[in-house]
Structure 1
Amino acid sequence: MGSQKEAFVALVTCFNDDETINYEATRAQVRRQVAAGNNIMCAGTNGDFSALTFDEKVRLTEEVVAEVDGRAKVIVNAGMPATFETVALARAFDRIGVDGIAVITPFFIACTQDGLIRHFTTVADSVETPVYLYDIPVRTQNHIEPETARALAKHRNIAGIKDSGGAQETLEQYMAVGREEEGFDVYSGPDHLVHWAFQNGAKGAISGLGNVMPEVLARIVSCFNAGDEVGAARAQETYGAFRTDLYKLGYPPALVKRALWVMEPSVGASRQPALLPDPEQDKQIEAILKKYELI
Structure 2
Amino acid sequence: MLTFPNVITAMITPFHEDGSVNYEAFRELAEKYTAQGSGILVAATTGEGAVMTEDEKLKLFKIAADALKDKTLVMANVGTNNTAQTIDLIKRTEGLGVDALLCIVPYYNKPNQDGCYAHFAAIAKSTKLPIFIYNVPGRTGGKIEAPTLCRLAHDFPNIIGLKDASGDLDYAGYVAANAPAGFHLYSGDDNLTLPIVAVGGEGVVSVASHVICKEMSEMIQAHKDGDVKKAAAMHQKYLPFMKGIFCTVSPVPIKTMVNMLGFPAGPLRLPLVEASPEVRAKCQQLLKDIGRL
CA contact (8 A) 1:269 1:277 kept: no
What SS is found at the alignment partner of 1:47? coil
Q: Does the 8 Å contact 1:163/1:188 carry over to 2?
A: yes
2:63 aligns with 63
The DSSP-based 3-state class of the residue aligned with 1:160 is strand
What code does the residue aligned with 1:270 have? L
SS at match of 1:224: helix
Separation in 2, partners of 1:60, 1:5: 21
1:267 has 2:268 as partner? no
Q: CA deviation at 1:187?
A: 1.1
Determine the structure 2 residue equivalent to 1:163: 164
Greater alpha carbon shift after TM alignment, 75-84 vs 196-205: 196-205
The residue number in structure 1 matching 2:48 is: 48
CA distance, structure 2, for counterparts of residue 121 and residue 293 of structure 1: 46
Residues 66, 97 of structure 2: 8 Å contact kept: no
Letter in 2 for 1:274: L
* Contact 1:14-1:22 within 8 A present in 2 as well: yes
Written as runs of structure 1 = structure 2, the 5 A alignment for 1:1-295 is 6-154=6-154, 155-178=156-179, 181-247=180-246, 249-295=247-293
In structure 1, C-alpha distance between the alignment counterparts of 2:235 and 2:95, rounded to whole Å: 37
Q: Do 2:164 and 2:172's aligned partners in 1 also have CA atoms closer than 8 Å? A: yes
Q: CA deviation at 1:97?
A: 2.0
| Structure 1: segments with no counterpart, 5+ residues | none
CA pair 292-136 structure 1, distance change in 2 beyond 3 A: same
Distance 1:17 1:192 in 2: 32
* Identical counterparts, % of pairs: 28
After superposition, give the CA deviation of every residue in 1:56-104 in whole Å (9 maximum; x if it has no partner).
1110111111221321111111101111111111222221122211101
Deviation at 1:5? 6.1
Instruction: Supply the distance in 1 between the matched residues of 2:103 and 2:206 (Cα, whole angstroms).
Output: 16
Q: CA RMSD in A?
A: 1.9
Give 5+ residue unaligned stretches, structure 2.
none
Question: 1:198/1:119 Cα in 2 relative to 1: closer, same or farther (>3 Å)?
Answer: same
**Runs of 4+ residues over 4 Å off in structure 1:** none
Letter in 2 for 1:95: G
Which structure has greater helix proportion? 1
Letter in 2 for 1:269: P
Q: Mean Cα displacement is larger for which, 166-175 or 113-122? A: 166-175
**Residue 267 and residue 175 in structure 1: after superposition, are their counterparts in 2 closer, same or farther (change >3 A)?**
same
Q: Secondary structure, in 3 states, of the residue corresponding to 2:173?
A: helix
1:225 is displaced (CA, Å) by: 4.2
- Distance in 2 (CA, whole Å) between partners of 1:130 and 1:252 is 27
Count how many residue pairs are aligned between Structure 1 and Structure 2. Answer: 290
